[in-house]
Amino acid sequence: MSETKFKFEDLKVYQKALDFVDFTYKVSSGFPKTERYALSHPFTRAAVFVALNITEGSGHTNALFNRFFLQVAKLH
C-alpha cells in the first residue's frame, strides 16, 4: 500500500519546522515541573504552530492565502 504524500512535505522549511518541534520538546522536557504550563507549553505550542501554518498555507491554491500563512508562520 502506498502512502499519500503532500507537496508541503518536500519543502525544506517544513522539514526544518518539524526538526524545531522535536528540538523544543526535547529542550522543554528538561524544564522543571513547576514550569510545565507556564513556560514549556507555550514554547512547544509555538513551534507546532509554525509547522501547522506551513501545511495550511500549502493547501491553498491561491498564492495570496499561501503567502499569508507563510508570513504567519514566520512571525512565530
Place of cell 526535547: 26
Residues 55-64 pLDDT 10s: 887 777 777 7
**Residue ranges per structural domain of the chain:** 8-75
Name the burial class of residue 4, with classes exposed (0-12), middle (13-18) and buried (19+) by CB atoms within 10 angstroms of its CB. Answer: exposed
Q: Please tell me the pTM assigned to this model.
A: 0.75
Answer whether CATH 3.40.640.10 is correct for domain 8-75.
Answer: no
Cα–Cα–Cα angle for 63, 4, 50, rounded to 5 degrees: 50
Report the pLDDT value the prediction gives residue 19, as an integer from 0 to 100: 97
